[in-house]
Amino acid sequence: MHYVLKLPFYVLSILPLRYLSQNTLSIDLFSQPVHTRVLHPTGKGEGEAYGRLPVDVEALAAEGLEARFVVIDLKGKQYKVTKDDVIVSDKIEGLEPGYIFECAEVHLVGTPEYTIVGRPYVQNARVRLQVEEQAKDAKIIVFKKKRRKNYRRKQGFRREVTILRVLEIEE
């Protein structure tokens, strides 16, 4: 008899070795989809645990807004953005103001109807960004003092940042 066991990776560290070494047990780690699509409940129906606030998508579209957000990864940090948002990120080298590029590292796509969670990224989801400015952030004062020792050091620090605007979200 042959069994296929579908388990997440972290469960494998809990299993005793005798389960992993038997010939009758194989572990299927690669059959999961690359992302998960979660449908949201639409209202207070029978058997639903909670109700949702309705989102008027037509009213948002009339104002030029979009009822969609994404979580992207830039320089090791995650940002939750929508269309026309401005992001202040760590400096990205080699980009001039006005340059347009795509970010394919999208972790999550959310709309009022559904949410797509990537594992780790959502396939075919892209965000177009435009570089607005390469600048320095506001100054941070670093002050060190040791009491009764006449030790005082004052130093300023300004990190270099890239200011980006979200032009388009493609799913």
pTM (global) more than 0.85: no
Cis ω before 120 (30° cut-off from 0): yes
Q: Clarify whether residues 59 and 98 are in a common domain.
A: yes
| Banded pLDDT at 164 (limits 50, 70, 90) | very high
Domain count along the chain: 2
User: How far apart, in whole angstroms, are the C-alpha atoms of residue 119 and residue 37?
Assistant: 11
Q: Give me 146's structure tokens.
A: 């040791």
Based on the domain organization, do 158 and 144 belong to the same domain?
yes
Mean pLDDT comparison of 36-50, 66-80, 127-141, highest-scoring range: 127-141
Residues 55 and 26 both lie in one domain = no
- CB-based contact 67:142 (threshold 8 Å): no
Q: At residue 34, does pLDDT exceed 90? A: no
Mean of the per-residue pLDDT values for the chain?
77
Q: pLDDT per residue over 39-67, tens digit each?
A: 665 544 444 444 445 566 667 667 666 67
50 and 131 housed in the same domain = yes
> Three-state secondary structure along the chain?
CCEEECCCHHHHCCCCHHHHHCCCEEECCCCCCCEEEEECCCCCCCCCCCCCCCCCHHHHHHCCCCCCEEEEEECCEEEEECCCCEEEEECCCCCCCCCEEEECCEEEEECCCEEEEECCCCCCCEEEEEEEEEEECCCEEEEEEECCCCEEEEEEECCEEEEEEEEEEEC
Is the distance from CB of 124 to CB of 57 less than 8 angstroms? no
pLDDT of residue 42: 52
Looking at the structure, do residues 27 and 72 belong to the same domain, yes or no?
no
Q: How confident is the model at residue 19 (pLDDT cuts 50, 70, 90)?
A: very low
pLDDT category, 1, cuts 50, 70, 90? very low
Dist CA 21 CA 31 (whole Å): 21
81 and 105 together in one domain: yes
Burial of 148 (0-12, 13-18, 19+ CB in 10 A): exposed
The domain of 93 spans: 33-170
